[in-house]
Amino acid sequence: MKKKDFIFTIGLCIFMGVLWVVGMLVMGLWIAVKPKAYIWWFVGIVAVTLIINVWHSMMKDESDLKDPKKEKYQRKVNKRKKKGS
């Protein structure tokens, strides 16, 4: 697992944890719900977290495949071509 993926996963878990707590507070203080709603809220938060995490891990990260020096050279060449035209 790359550092970027690890940071994303930790950030996602923290965000979803805060969202879960806020939802529990709203359901407990302001909205009258049945006790099963708390279970469904928890299941929904866990499911959404897993779906987002799996989707993010399946995306191809091509930043490791690109050579920064070659990209810089290409930008310079393209800039010169635009100036000359």
- Predicted pLDDT of residue 64: 63
| 31-78: pLDDT as tens digits | 888 889 889 999 999 999 999 998 988 887 666 667 778 888 888 888
- Predicted pLDDT of residue 33: 84
Distances (CA, A) of 4 to 11, 13, 41, 61: 11, 14, 28, 10
Overall pTM > 0.95? no
